[in-house]
Amino acid sequence: MIDVLQSPDRVAAFAISGTLTGEDYDRIIAEVEAKLVRHDRIGIVLDLTQFHHLTTEAAWKDLRYDLSKLFELKRFPREAIVSDKRWMQIAAQIAAPILPHVEVRVFAARDDALEWAAGF
């Protein structure tokens, strides 16, 4: 399940809980694309504190969308993850040198993540 969170207009923010489905991922894409129409660059916030897993359809849509934006990474200068899971922190550290022009950080508190993601 996905909830679109209140955020500054130049930040796309979502809370994902339980299982992320393909339909949920379609909502994410629609929200991100709507913000990209209005802004050259946007921050991303994903609250994954209640996230458990994603369906194969959602994983496939994520991969396709990510690949479609590969040459537009400058449009996503900050990506914040809200999580208390250690493996998320490790994944963010691994992603940092792989994603040019994108800062990825993990936060314990959603408000801190929103503030940081909007501060580019």
Q: Give the domain extent around 85.
A: 2-118
pLDDT tier at 99, thresholds 50, 70, 90: confident
Q: pLDDT at residue 101 above 90?
A: no
Q: Is the pLDDT of residue 38 over 90?
A: yes
Look up residue 43 and give its DSSP letter.
E
Residue 69: which of 44, 52, 105, 94 has the closest Cα? 44
Instruction: Give the CATH number of the domain where residue 56 resides.
Output: 3.30.750.24
The structural domain count of the chain equals: 1
Residues 6+ apart with CB under 8 A from 67: none
What pTM, to 2 d.p., does this model score? 0.92
Q: Which helix (H) or strand (E) holds 96?
A: helix 86-98
**Residues 78-95: pLDDT tens digits?**
999 999 888 878 888 887
